[in-house]
């Protein structure tokens, strides 16, 4: 089996397990809250690569963490990611009508329900993490909660999104685009890789290695996202293309050009792999993921 098939298969297995868990966490109730839960499920079960959950499971597997624990953290992280997509697609933000190959949540439902569905997913994530089933040690649970709150919050994804909104007005240079992306997309990706180490109460050295790996992986992922916005296929991607250029946004590709951006993504992927040298064969999944991220078509 070649490496791309291997990693895609492993990602599929994780996606299935995470979806099964989320399905159990989110039964549709009878009362007036039924609509918001349906909207949450609509956004969650629309496919998606489940890259962030895979990072949690793959990083946890380095330390022989119990699979059920890793899957709960993976599910929580996917809830936060899906909330961010729902809110990002709203008319007040990116105003998108297509996501994961189908109408965005505010189109399929309505804006108020989409806002609530995002809020519901964000809070559900912390409910899952804080539950004893995630880890018997309350210090570990509290670290999982704290780190995710930081990654998703004002010094992470929300801060990055705010920078992005302001950037449409001010324009950005290379350093600023890097910082924006590290916050907006990078912070959750870093959390995914670090979560395995948190669950395992791993020492500083492997933990730092995972953070370094994920920082480079996140940037490579973002550069490829920028490239796909120019070269990708709307049907394959399941979302609109050409949005960055139309909005006059500074991206890695607008600043570096297509060829240098692609070279940079390759370099970052190789650099990410370098961080894994202490982990030997156990890190095969993470190494393959770094290669997959730069070859992906969606």
- Contact footprint for ligand GRG (CB under 6 A): 48-49, 51, 81, 84-85, 87-88, 100, 157-158, 161, 184-185, 222, 225
DSSP string, 141-205: HHHHHHHHHHHHSTTTHHHHHHHHHHHHHH---HHHHHHHHIIIIIHHHHHHHHHHHHHTT--HH
CB of 30 to ligand GRG, least distance (A): 30
The residue written with tokens 């946004």 in the block is: 249
Q: Could you tell me the two tokens for 263?
A: 């070279």
SS3 251: coil
The C-alpha atoms of residue 207 and residue 202 are separated, in whole angstroms, by 7
User: Considering beta carbons, is residue 49 or 67 the nearer one to ligand GRG?
Assistant: 49
User: Considering beta carbons, is residue 104 or 185 the nearer one to ligand GRG?
Assistant: 185
CB of 231 to ligand GRG, least distance (A): 15
CB of 125 to ligand GRG, least distance (A): 13
User: Considering beta carbons, is residue 73 or 200 the nearer one to ligand GRG?
Assistant: 73
Could you tell me which residues come within 8 angstroms of residue 7 by beta carbon, excluding any fewer than 6 positions away?
Answer: 285, 288, 289, 291, 292
Question: Across the chain, how many H-helices and E-strands are there?
Answer: 16, 2
> Pick from 199, 198, 197, 191: which is nearest to 215 by CA?
191
C-alpha dihedral (164, 168, 169, 173), degrees to nearest 10:
70
User: Considering beta carbons, is residue 10 or 157 the nearer one to ligand GRG?
Assistant: 157
Q: Could you tell me the two tokens for 96?
A: 């998108």
CB of 73 to ligand GRG, least distance (A): 16
Nearest-CB residue to ligand GRG? 48
Could you tell me which residues come within 8 angstroms of residue 294 by beta carbon, excluding any fewer than 6 positions away?
Answer: 220, 224, 265, 266, 269
User: Considering beta carbons, is residue 209 or 223 the nearer one to ligand GRG?
Assistant: 223
Could you tell me which residues come within 8 angstroms of residue 258 by beta carbon, excluding any fewer than 6 positions away?
Answer: 227, 230, 231
CB of 139 to ligand GRG, least distance (A): 28
User: Considering beta carbons, is residue 185 or 269 the nearer one to ligand GRG?
Assistant: 185
User: Considering beta carbons, is residue 147 or 185 the nearer one to ligand GRG?
Assistant: 185
CB of 94 to ligand GRG, least distance (A): 7
CB of 118 to ligand GRG, least distance (A): 8
SS3 63: coil
């Amino acid at each position: 089996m070649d490496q791309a098939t291997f990693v895609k298969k492993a990602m599929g297995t994780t996606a299935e397990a995470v979806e099964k868990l989320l399905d159990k966490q989110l039964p549709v109730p009878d009362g007036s809250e039924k609509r918001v839960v349906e909207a949450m499920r609509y956004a969650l079960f629309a496919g998606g690569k489940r890259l962030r959950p895979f990072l949690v499971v793959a990083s946890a597997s380095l330390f022989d963490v119990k699979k059920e624990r890793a899957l709960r953290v993976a599910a929580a992280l996917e809830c936060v990611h899906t909330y961010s997509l729902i809110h990002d697609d709203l008319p007040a933000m990116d105003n998108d009508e297509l996501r994961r190959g189908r109408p965005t949540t505010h189109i399929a439902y309505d804006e108020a329900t989409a806002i609530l569905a995002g809020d519901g997913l964000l809070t559900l994530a912390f409910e899952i993490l804080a539950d004893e089933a995630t880890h018997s040690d309350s210090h570990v649970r509290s670290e999982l909660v704290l780190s995710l709150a930081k990654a998703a919050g004002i010094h992470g994804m929300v801060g990055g999104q705010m920078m992005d909104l302001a950037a449409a007005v001010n324009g950005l240079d290379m350093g600023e685009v890097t910082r924006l992306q590290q916050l907006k997309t990078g912070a959750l990706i870093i959390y995914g890789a670090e979560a395995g180490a948190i669950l395992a109460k791993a020492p500083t050295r492997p933990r730092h290695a995972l953070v370094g790996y994920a920082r480079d992986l996140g940037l490579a992922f973002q550069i490829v996202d920028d490239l796909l916005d120019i070269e990708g296929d709307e049907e394959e991607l399941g979302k609109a293309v050409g949005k960055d250029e139309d909005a006059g946004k500074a991206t890695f590709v607008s600043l570096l050009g297509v060829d240098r951006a692609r070279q940079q993504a390759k370099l970052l992927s190789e650099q990410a792999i370098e961080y894994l040298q202490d982990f030997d064969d156990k890190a095969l999944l993470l190494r393959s993921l770094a290669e997959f991220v730069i070859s992906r078509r969606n």
